[in-house]
Amino acid sequence: MQENNTITFIFLAILLLLIIIICFLMYQLMQFKKAKDDAEKSFYALEMKVNDLQLETLESKLNPHLFKNILNSIQSHAYQTYFALDKLANVLDYILYESKKKFVTAKEEIDFALNLIEINKIKISPLFELKIKTNINKEDKLYDQPLLAPLISIDLIENAFKHADLQSADAFISVVFEFRDNAFFMTVSNKISDKKVLKKERSGFGHATLEHRLRIIYKNNFKLDKFVENDVYIAHLKIDLLEYKTEMLASGR
């Protein structure tokens, strides 16, 4: 009799354990389904934003097709979906709303650029060397003043990811943002993928639009240096915001 009770107890314990496991698995399945549904809703909401995206050619070379490609990349990397969609939402909001302003603060532009870099990271191997550095003097009086043209960082970042060597063991992309002495600095460097691209990039690296835009807005208060050194392409941008603001005030703009 006691043996039967023991067997019955063990049976009930196993049954209870199985029920708990089944309930846990069902809960996990429901959570996964909810997460999947939320991700799909976010994905389609962002796709609608991309379809509505309208940008002036001179203001930016950003193309809605670029974002559709990014969305496809995000969808094919489910483990990064939430993080990447969140970053993409921030980027699209900035482009759709903040870029309509004539000027933004350096903080806003740098935050946008960092989000754009995070999105591009999904297209490269986790082992690829991507170095991001910020050296910001937040006490600088011009750091929080709207003096920087929005989307000014796009060209340098996009070209780095487009033309970088993603295969070699010593390949890398480096992006450095600085704000000091009332000036905005941005330095982007990457190992170039092959000699054909190297020859092409010596002739301009596709920055004609950026340089034209800088010249229209900042006149002589910027400097954009582009050069190749040992198969590494380097672009360095400096915008002297104090001089620019002084000229604006003097001209009554």
3-state SS of the chain is CHHHHHHHHHHHHHHHHHHHHHHHHHHHHHHHHHHHHHHHHHHHHHHHHHHHCCCCCCCCCCCHHHHHHHHHHHHCCHHHHHHHHHHHHHHHHHHHCHHHCCCECHHHHHHHHHHHHHHHHCCCCCCCEEEEEEEECCCCCCCCCCCECCCCCHHHHHHHHHHECCCCCCCEEEEEEEEECCEEEEEEEEEECCHHHHHHHHCCCCCHHHHHHHHHHHCCCEEEEEEEECCEEEEEEEEEHHHHHHHHHHHCC
Domain boundaries, the chain: 40-251
**pLDDT confidence of residue 75:** 61
Q: Which of residues 99 and 127 earns the better pLDDT score? A: 127
Condensed to tens digits (0 to 9), the pLDDT of residues 123-140 reads 788 788 999 999 999 899
d(CA 142, CA 241): 8
**Which position has the higher pLDDT, 30 or 103?**
103
| Amino acid of residue 13 | A
Angle between helices 2-52 and 64-75 (to 10 degrees): 170
Write the burial class of residue 251 (CB in 10 Å: 0-12 exposed, 13-18 middle, 19+ buried): exposed
Cα–Cα distance measured from residue 202 to residue 221, given in angstroms and rounded to the nearest whole number: 24
Average pLDDT over residues 234-245: 95
For position 126, what pLDDT does the model report?
78
Predicted confidence at residue 194, as pLDDT, reads 66
Read off φ and ψ for residue 38, nearest 5 degrees. Answer: -65, -40
Question: Which residues make Cβ contacts (< 8 Å) with residue 24, sequence separation at least 6?
Answer: none
What is the C-alpha separation between 97 and 89, in angstroms, rounded?
12
How distant is the alpha carbon of residue 24 from its chain centre? 37
- Res. 172 pLDDT band, cuts 50 70 90: very high
CATH topology of domain 40-251: Heat Shock Protein 90 (3.30.565)
- The least confident of 56-70, 183-197, 212-226 is 56-70
Summarize pLDDT for 45-81 with one digit per residue, the tens: 776 666 555 434 434 445 555 566 666 666 655 555 6
The band of 2, judged by pLDDT with boundaries at 50, 70 and 90, is low
Has this prediction a pTM greater than 0.75?
no
